[in-house]
């Protein structure tokens, strides 16, 4: 069995890499999607967010106001407060999922796609946590893959994704810069990673790179 973390900065292409790994046979969990599920009414992260941020983050229908949460996190500097509520619940759920995967297939390769593997650990240690589910997050992965791309390319990708018509592209790029400011630079992540996939070409080129990484992971898992 092999536990693999897949990460990369905003609009680096990690979701595309995740999809390619799934096609090749990886068991995959998307941390962002899991986080969204845990932020639904009745879930543990939802309860913690409402208790901490108050009624201003709740819409009339009872769902979380994700736009307001994003403003609080990125424009008002409260991202660490939000992450400290959401991340422990997400990581615990990931661990349970991995246990289920390996119980079914001891040679499985379980991949967790998460934008913030290194940032989770950095922030926990900045808060003074030396041990625990957040501070030791990286250590629970046998291998970590980092997807990289030049910042200007990522800004363009993000703007195109958020504003496909082109209207509001500058505002989207400004939003992307705020988000990137929180993330650890690619060079630092690459130095900490076991595998680095540079996503600067077309899909066929990316597929070839992912396939090469997958073959190495398979060899390790089988051994």
Q: What CATH number corresponds to the domain at position 178?
A: 3.40.50.300
How many domains is the chain partitioned into structurally? 1
Banded model confidence at residue 128, pLDDT cuts 50, 70, 90: confident
The token pair that represents 57 in the structure block: 């983050």
Chain segment 26-81, per-residue pLDDT in tens: 999 998 899 999 999 999 999 999 999 999 999 999 999 999 998 998 889 898 89
Partnered with residue 144 across adjacent β-strands are: 5
- Mapping DSSP to helix (H, G, I), strand (E, B) and coil, where does residue 201 land? coil
Which residue range is the domain that position 190 belongs to?
2-222
Taking the whole predicted model, whether its pTM rises above 0.75 is answered as yes
pLDDT at 192 over 90: yes
The token pair that represents 222 in the structure block: 């089988």
The token pair that represents 169 in the structure block: 């592209």
């Amino acid at each position: 069995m092999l536990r693999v973390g897949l990460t990369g900065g905003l609009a680096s292409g990690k979701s595309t890499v995740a999809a390619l790994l799934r096609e090749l046979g990886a068991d995959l969990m998307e941390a962002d999607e899991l986080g969204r599920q845990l932020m639904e009414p009745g879930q543990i992260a939802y309860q913690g967010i409402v208790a901490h941020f108050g009624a201003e983050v709740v819409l009339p229908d009872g769902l979380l106001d994700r736009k307001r949460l994003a403003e609080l996190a990125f424009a008002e500097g409260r991202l660490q407060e939000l992450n400290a509520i959401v991340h422990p619940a997400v990581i615990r759920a990931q661990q349970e999922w991995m246990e289920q995967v390996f119980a079914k297939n001891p040679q499985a390769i379980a991949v967790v796609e998460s934008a913030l593997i290194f940032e989770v650990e950095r922030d926990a240690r900045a808060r003074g946590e030396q041990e625990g589910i957040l501070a030791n997050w990286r250590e629970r992965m046998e291998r970590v893959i980092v997807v990289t791309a030049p910042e200007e390319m990522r800004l363009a990708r993000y703007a195109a994704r958020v504003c496909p018509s082109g209207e509001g592209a500058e505002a989207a790029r400004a939003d992307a810069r705020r988000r990137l400011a929180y993330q650890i630079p690619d060079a630092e992540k690459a130095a900490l990673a076991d595998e680095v996939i540079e996503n600067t070409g077309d899909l066929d080129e990316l597929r070839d790179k992912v396939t090469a990484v997958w073959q190495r992971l398979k060899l390790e898992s089988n051994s």
